Amino acid sequence: MNIRFYNAKILTMNGDMPVFDGELWTEDSRIIYVGDGSNLDEYYKRTGRSAIIWGREIDCKGNLIMPGFKNCHTHSAMTFLRSHADDLPLQDWLNNQVFPYEAKLSPQDIFEFTRIAILEYLTGGITEIMEMYLTPGSIAKCCQEMGMRVTQVGGVNNFSQSPELIDKRMEELNGKNDLTSFRVGFHAEYTCSLELLKKIADLSHKYKSPVFTHIQETKSETDGCIERYGKTPVALFNDLGMFDYGGAGYHLVWTNDEDRLIMKEKHVSVVTNPGSNSKLASGIAPISEYLNDGIPVAIGTDGPASNNCLDMFREMFLVTALAKLKTNDASAVPATEVLKMATYNGAHVMCTPDADCLAEGKLADIIMMDMNQPNMQPVWNIENNIVYSGSKSDIMMTMIAGVIRYDTFDGFQRFNVGKEVPDIYRDCEVIKKRIFG
Ligand SMILES: [Zn+2]
């Protein structure tokens, strides 16, 4: 279907292109035109297109069209634990409140609780997630059914999953559809034996795949690795050949100069999770240092049990606010840089460069933001408004692969996800009661 968005303000995130008034056209899952609507004769001539028959024309009424947010680290189905056990130290929380209940989850339970997270992503303008959780098969099915773009990563550790299983999933979960993919990954150094880590490195070589994992989230985790191996997790993974095809680390709060040198040389990106790091008192990631060193930074919410909100607006504000506090410098990590992390960089970290910006031929993963809300007025600088005063309540539409999955065009929330929202809540409530008694 062809959809025309007109009378829009457009922020492409394509280089330094400023916000402009114009239109954007989609055809099926791709963008076929972005521009100010002038010079269309040249466009039709260049593309060989004749007049387009529109399946839908949407008057944006001066509201903003931009690329969707990329949530680069989450454990979606942990919605089942949201607000169940908060305000606890990380290890206590993990060992006593997370692992015992996770053990009771079936693939179908995870499918159902992933649905709640996806509803939340859609209402917050998130068009793509990087997921690490227990049953990638049922998660891929859920994302496909609801239309969410997802890059899943392995979460292997000493207690669950295995390199053999990751290998099998690399075969089973890639190349099957345009929305879902799977990459090599593991939980973290402190939950994996050296033998296991070596097997993960072998897998990344077999598939020439980047590797994704939690790294140096807490000081005790980092110190523990130094005690065990005489080096930080970043140095250990590098010595094992884990980063020969790049990758990304979730958190990366406690890095030193040597770690950052390795990351730059080996194209290891940072996925920062400031909401989770704040709530679990893990520390403040050195974002300014990463930017100074030329290391790409993307943003994730982490799971809804540790955050507890899957909200990229809150994460964006925290990225810059915490960096300013950490460096005692109000000019640290400006809003334009944060917005790039939340969109363009995220797409590249997730190995989906076609979703990075709005341009001809790119994926139609697009959101519309309401410019007629008090928190978005007056308009001096739209990028700054989004990062410093924007809110997920400003999201008017979330489109993924050219399909509108959520909108509030007529003032009411409308989801297009294959199942009624009250039914999703009801089914999750039943599972919740079964697990917790
Ligand atoms: Zn995590």
The tens digit of pLDDT for each residue in 241-284 reads 999 999 999 999 999 999 999 999 999 999 999 999 999 999 99
Range of the domain at 152: 69-350
pLDDT at 143: 98
Ligand 1: centre distance to CA 15 (Å): 30
Q: Are residues 53 and 171 in the same domain?
A: no
Query: Which of 329, 350, 371 is at the close of a domain?
Result: 350
Which residue would you say has higher pLDDT here, 330 or 94?
330
Distance 307 CA to ligand 1 centre (A): 10
3-state secondary structure of 339: helix
Q: Number of structural domains, the chain?
A: 2
Distance of CA 74 from the midpoint of ligand 1 (Å):
6
In a domain, 429, yes or no: no
What helix, strand, coil percent values describe the chain, rounded to 5? 40, 20, 35
Domain boundary (319, 350, 381) is at 350
* Residue 437 confidence (pLDDT) above 90: no
Rounded Cα distance between 223 and 216, Å, is: 9
Question: CATH number of the domain that 266 lies in?
Answer: 3.20.20.140
261 and 123 part of one domain = yes
pTM metric for this prediction: 0.97
Minimal CA–CA distance to 188: which of 152, 164, 224?
224
How many angstroms separate the alpha carbon of residue 48 from the centre of ligand 1? Answer: 47
Q: What is the pLDDT of residues 350-398, one digit of tens each?
A: 999 999 999 999 999 999 999 999 999 999 999 999 999 999 999 999 9
Report how far ligand 1's centroid is from the alpha carbon of 280 (Å): 12
Is residue 316 domain-shared with residue 382, that is, in the same domain? no
Strands (E) in 144-237, as ranges, are 149-153, 180-188, 211-215
Asked whether residue 430 is domain-assigned, the answer is: no
C-alpha 430 – ligand 1 centre gap (Å): 26
Are 382 and 345 found together in one domain? Answer: no
CA distance 372 to 393: 12
Model pLDDT for residues 56-95, shown as the tens digit of each residue: 999 999 999 999 999 999 999 999 999 998 998 877 888 8
What's the CA-to-centroid distance between 82 and ligand 1, angstroms? 14
420, part of any domain: no
**Is residue 424, in this structure, part of any structural domain at all?**
no
Give residue 378's identity as a one-letter amino acid code.
Answer: P
Same domain (yes/no): 63, 75: no
- Distance between CA atoms of 390 and 312, rounded to whole angstroms? 10
Q: How far is the CA of 214 from the centre of ligand 1 (A)?
A: 6
Q: What's the pLDDT at 316?
A: 98
Q: Supply the pLDDT for residue 413.
A: 97
Statement to judge: residues 135 and 33 lie in one domain = no
The alpha carbon of 72 and the centre of ligand 1 are apart by a number of angstroms equal to 10
80 and 57 co-located in one domain: no
Cα 56 to averaged position of ligand 1 atoms, centre (Å): 39
The DSSP annotation for 82-141 comes to TTTS-S--HHHIIIIIIHHHHTT--HHHHHHHHHHHHHHHHHTTEEEEEE--S-HHHHHH
Distance, CA 303 to ligand 1 centroid (Å)? 6
